Structure 1
Amino acid sequence: MFPFRQYYDSFNPETLALLETALNETWIALQSSGSSFDETKTRAAIADLLVKFAAQDERDPQRLKALVLAALPSYEAQ
């Protein structure tokens, strides 16, 4: 899965790798939460949120994960 393929021209390779790391860490945190969710839609929502926060110059994978986990419930409700 390459959720950030469409952003290859927007971010440098280091940032794309960082986003991939943040996506994987966020996904692991969600899986261990015991919540039920649609995998495809949820991973897409995580990727969208990660890009949003990265566009605001956030680059810390742990901070990105925390921001996404906080924003995800309201994002998915849209």
Structure 2
Amino acid sequence: MRIDYDPDHDTVYIRLHETPRTTESDEVEPGVIVDYGPDGQVVGFELLDARRRGPWAEWITWIDALQIRVARSQP
């Protein structure tokens, strides 16, 4: 897992898997974008307005829950 923060835009990108490219993105809730690789696997999340989402330490629990929710919604 790799986490990058862009302070100029207050966005966080959480990369779960290295893939050649993102082939599809879906905004699963306001300000949360899930990126999928060529095989449909979740490869990362983009969080907009990151500072309003709370401390970094709380994000890991939130990301785990989001991964489970996204996985359950896939066929």
**With structure 2 as the length reference, what TM-score do the two structures score?**
0.39
Larger RCO (CA within 8 A; separation ≥ 6) = 1
Task: Identify, as 1 or 2, the structure richer in strand.
Answer: 2
Task: Identify, as 1 or 2, the structure richer in helix.
Answer: 1
**With structure 1 as the length reference, what TM-score do the two structures score?**
0.38
